[in-house]
Amino acid sequence: MSAETAIERLAQRLIPGAAVTVLTGSGVSAASGVPTFRGPEGLWRHFKPEELATPEAFARDPRLVWEWYDWRRQKIAACRPNRAHEVLALWATRYPRFSLVTQNVDGLHERAGVADLVRLHGSIWEVSCWNRCKGSPERWLDETVPFPTLPPTCRYCGGLIRPGVVWFGEPLDGDALARADRASSCDVFIAAGTSALVYPAAAFVPLARARGAFTVEVNPDDTPASGRVDLVIRLGAEVALDLVEARLQGTSTAAP
85 is catalytic: no
**By CB under 6 A, residue 26 contacts ligand NAD:** yes
Q: H/E element holding 122?
A: strand 122-129
Residue 209 near residue 230, CB atoms below 8 Å: yes
Partner from ligand NAD, Zn ion, none binding residue 128, C-beta < 5-8 Å depending on class: none
Q: Among 81, 141, 134, which Cα is nearest to 111's?
A: 81
Residue 138 near residue 154, CB atoms below 8 Å: no
Partner from Zn ion, ligand NAD, none binding residue 194, C-beta < 5-8 Å depending on class: ligand NAD
User: Which of 64, 77, 133, 172 forms a contact with Zn ion (CB under 5 A)?
Assistant: 133
Nearest to ligand NAD of 36, 128 (CB atom) = 36
User: Binding string to ligand NAD for residues 81 to 120, with x set by CB under 6 A, is what?
Assistant: ----------------------xxxx--------------
Residue 93 near residue 16, CB atoms below 8 Å: no
Q: Among 33, 42, 21, 44, which Cα is nearest to 101's?
A: 21
What 3-state class would DSSP assign to 16?
Answer: coil
Q: How far is the CB of 58 from ligand NAD (least distance, A)?
A: 16
**By CB under 6 A, residue 220 contacts ligand NAD:** yes
- DSSP letter at 151 equals S
What 3-state class would DSSP assign to 52?
Answer: helix
Partner from ligand NAD, Zn ion, none binding residue 156, C-beta < 5-8 Å depending on class: Zn ion
Q: How far is the CB of 86 from Zn ion (least distance, A)?
A: 38
Partner from Zn ion, ligand NAD, none binding residue 101, C-beta < 5-8 Å depending on class: none
Residue 190 near residue 91, CB atoms below 8 Å: no
**By CB under 6 A, residue 227 contacts ligand NAD:** no
**By CB under 6 A, residue 159 contacts ligand NAD:** no
How many other CB atoms are there within 10 angstroms of residue 122's CB atom?
Answer: 19
How many residues interact with Zn ion (rule CB under 5 A)? Answer: 7
* Residues forming the active site: 121
